[in-house]
């Protein structure tokens, strides 16, 4: 059986994040990738210059086309910029009941550009998070979901994770890439407690699409039948290597992409 993962996210015209990064991740990890596009962005390594929303009814059409034909093992949800998009996705996920949903609550691009409308945040909290097997906010996104300052200690991160868990998802992975120190520390919080996942922090500006790619790597692992903790550990090891290899590329004048195919060239 061919493992299949579906990404529901926005398109990045520069190829480093969004749908493009997700499909590269799936391919790099031996999973067939399908896609539902929620928005078109005009962006490059320096920033986002425009966003064109895909109507909710066409998001629905894409979801139904994929699920009616493909045996989807896991779904990764990324950029959902407006309430209509969230409603269409929630209805589709409820209708087709995929086994695993990985939600990356994309709010701000690496460049600092805001990607999520303010009126969509509450819909994300109330409607989409309860459907997720795991959500993967970074430190600023976790704080934004809770309307709080960014957590500055391990205890504060764990506390925020527990309160995000209470929104209805089964696990929370708070990513520490925005933190400081020699290690990039992520925190996996679920009903059993908190697991600390550390990796050496890589000094590179080429981090465009890191969050998209990590959440997609988790979905790829789940689609292949891995347990949640195993999928997350493997995904973190893979993205750490992709970041470490990012400087092999010379792409753009801003935050360049990670090297999704670092194992191959």
Domains and CATH numbers, the chain: 4-248 (3.40.1190.20)
Position 156 scores a pLDDT of 93
CA pair distance 107, 10, nearest whole angstrom: 12
8 Å CB contact between 164 and 136: no
Average pLDDT estimate for 71-78:
98
> How confident is the prediction for the chain on average, in pLDDT?
92
Query: What is the full DSSP assignment across 179-233?
Result: S-SSEEEEEEEETTEEEEEEEEPP--S--BTHHHHHHHHHHHHHHTT--HHHHHH
Highest mean pLDDT: which of 94-103, 204-213, 252-261? 94-103
With bands split at pLDDT 50, 70 and 90, how would you rate the model's confidence at 112?
low
Provide the percentage of residues in the chain whose pLDDT is more than 70.
Answer: 95
Provide the percentage of residues in the chain whose pLDDT is more than 90.
Answer: 75
- pLDDT at residue 89 above 70? yes
With bands split at pLDDT 50, 70 and 90, how would you rate the model's confidence at 119?
confident
CA pair distance 171, 191, nearest whole angstrom: 8
State phi, psi for 115 to the nearest 5 degrees. Answer: -115, -10
List residues with catalytic annotation.
Answer: 175, 207, 209-212
**How far lies 2's CA from each of 21, 64, 71, in Å?**
20, 20, 9
């Amino acid at each position: 059986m061919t493992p299949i993962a579906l990404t529901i996210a926005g398109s990045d015209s520069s190829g480093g994040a969004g749908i493009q990064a997700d499909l590269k991740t799936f391919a790099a990890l031996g999973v067939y990738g399908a896609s539902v596009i929620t928005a078109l962005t005009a962006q490059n390594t320096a920033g986002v210059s425009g966003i064109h929303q895909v109507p909710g009814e066409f998001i629905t059409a894409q979801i139904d086309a994929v699920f009616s034909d493909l045996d989807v093992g896991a779904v990764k949800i990324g950029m959902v910029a407006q309430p209509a998009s969230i409603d269409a996705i929630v209805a589709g996920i409820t209708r087709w009941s995929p086994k695993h949903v990985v939600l990356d609550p994309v709010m701000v691009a690496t460049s600092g550009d805001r990607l999520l409308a303010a009126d969509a945040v509450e819909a994300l909290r109330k409607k989409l998070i309860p459907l997720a097997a795991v959500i993967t906010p970074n430190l600023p996104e976790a704080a934004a979901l809770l309307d709080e300052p960014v957590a500055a200690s391990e205890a504060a991160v764990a506390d925020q994770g527990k309160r995000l868990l209470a929104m209805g998802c089964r696990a929370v992975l708070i990513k520490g890439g925005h933190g400081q120190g020699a290690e990039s520390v992520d925190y996996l919080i679920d009903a059993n407690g908190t697991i600390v996942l550390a990796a050496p922090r890589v000094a590179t500006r080429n981090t465009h699409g890191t969050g998209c790619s990590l959440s997609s790597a988790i979905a790829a692992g789940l689609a292949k039948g891995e347990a949640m903790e195993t999928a997350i550990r493997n995904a973190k090891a893979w993205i750490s290597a992709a970041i470490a290899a990012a400087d092999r590329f010379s792409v753009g004048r801003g935050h360049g992409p990670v090297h999704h195919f670092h194992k191959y060239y």
